[in-house]
Chains A and B, each alone.
Chain A
Amino acid sequence: MLQTAPPHAKRHHSGLIGDQPAPPAQDIARLKKTKRDQAIHPGWLVAPASLWLIVFLVVPLIGIVVFSFWTPIRGGMTPDFTLINFGNFFRQEGFFDPEHRNFLKLSIFLTTLWTTFRFTITVMAVCLIIGYPIAFFLAMQVKNFKWQLALFLVAMVPFWTSYLIRAVAWLPMLGRRGLFNKMLMNLGIIDKPSSFFLYSEFGYTMALAQLYVVLCIGPIFFSLAKIDKNILEAARDMGASNFQVFREIILPLSLPGVAIGMIFLFVMLMGEFATAVVVYGGKTSTTGTVILNYYATANYPFAAVNAIMLMLAMMIGVFFILRVVDIRKEL
């Protein structure tokens, strides 16, 4: 006969790999008692982090929001409330004027934000296409844990060196006199060096994907490694094809990792401006460069408006990623 167990005894909590049985009730009770009696109040544990975040994140953020409403003057700003900075962000000269070159064209700052977003999405897609199979291979095909770890570290090797070295390394690869052009010429595919690879959208996308792909390999690898192999076996025993196993079990269970990886990528790529300079030869504007250009000539309110818009875009992006995958539920 089944006994009614205390509710928590039935619950399982998930460990890093597979589910673990919940500890017996008396242990929990004992632990809870100890905690109440001796342990430091949890509030104290989060205090340093909270304080740090408040001083170095929340306060500056409030500052940015406040400054965006101040009036810019030559050489700074005055605390006079104005909406002109936001107006300037959206306003475009000659928007409705059919004679004007800007007829029905959106403000350049919106367009720039959109360009930044477009590159971000493209690179995220490339990263996913490259990153998922790598993570899949590591987690599913490599059986030995030691090898898994070793190969995962190999995938990380480029990240042992600085970001800028990795970006600059593309120049001798893709340039007019670069390795890639030499190879194609030796193979007789092209007869004179192509300038298509470097300082182009192609080179830029490739470089960004290489620079950031590990950010999504990690989380996807961990969520794949967590999948209980017995479930896969059970599915196969019941006659599921490899594709069915992937579609019905592996893919849904790896989505939290994908979502986390995509959030990492999204946030990093939206704020990106250095790679555009090095690999794209500055031939595009990102919202990051706009902020820098206005900051450099002391128009802080307008730089602040651009920063706020970038933040809003990031928040909306993250919100949508989380709408697709409910990470909390999945974990």
Chain B
Amino acid sequence: MWELIKANQRRSVMLFVVMGIILIGLGFVFGMVFDHKHTGGGAITGIIIALLVWFILSLVAVTSGSAIMLSASNAKEVTQDVHPQLFNVVDEMRIAAGMSKMPKVYIINTDAPNAFATGMSPDNAAVAVTAGLLARLNRDELQGVMAHEMSHVINRDVKFMTIAGVMLGSIVIISEIFLRSMIFGGGSGGSRSKDGGGQAQAIIMVIALVFAILAPILAQLLYFSISRKREYLADASAVRLTRYPEGLASALEKISNSNIDMPMANKVTAPMYICNPMKKKGMKMSDLSSTHPPISERIRILRAMAGGAGLANYQSAYSQVKGNASKIIPGGELKKAEDIGIRMGIAFEVKDNKTTARSSNDIMMKVDNYAFINCDCGMKLKVPANYSSNEIMCPRCGTRHEV
């Protein structure tokens, strides 16, 4: 595991360097455009402004990124009694991964099945799942999803995505500011450059415009390609933790079968979820600009895993399904040829749509502090938290219950 994290860090540094160069280049070129006297001071100012934007965004993301993500998705922190099984499963994965602290657990009140994890380090991690996910998945499937999410934290993917996301954000913001200033203030700059007699100025202007358009696209492609790789890696790590590829595979299948959109997800938070929460019709998930690999492919790789649950087994299943030799797992980790068996699955009852909908509703009510009272006649009373009287009557048999 440690080698995996180290290899990840090496890869990340490469990406950060490239993105940093793009960022500084942007600052430089834009500064040049506004530097009418050609003193070179403009370029430096441009670089300083670019770095300043990046610094401020980083500060916000590192100190409160997790809190922003959780509140943007309407996640509520819950206690063990709301969903004991969820807590048990998270604890199991914590133990399997050798994490010292239990992550905080959040539930999002929506019927769309999805989940995400946040936290720059394993010590301040949090996992969030939707009520719809809890209602649809059985124990083994839930375990697979939680293992995937916690792998993101352990592999430091959350940290990486935050830092890379901030760099991407800075590049987008600076390009946007430049393009807008060209539209609104372009006239004055243009007229003055004529007096300065600069064909050079015009050339710089064209270069800057091309840069402003291309840089964000380039940065995004870079960001997305690494983001997809990390999804595969998190799948591989999850199977290594649970020793049960079918759990995650059938969970992904159930998640992809649902076509409910998450209203609380947006373009910024989408890469954090286990599956893309915004399923636009007609959009191909396999295109270059998607943050997640196509689900069907992830499922096929998981189901192709034979002979073991180790990282090397995932790699060979990946090569087999994709038909190419690109590496998901860093080399050092592959050489360690671990002999890890796949465990047995447990048989679960299949839930029909009605039961699923009902249990999804129940979970949402529990999150909202509803009291549940079982009447002797078999009726289940669900009392909202703001119910004022301290007694309630069963509508079927008329028994009075204390609230």
User: Does chain A bind chain B?
Assistant: no
User: Which residues of B come within 8 Å of A, CB atoms?
Assistant: none
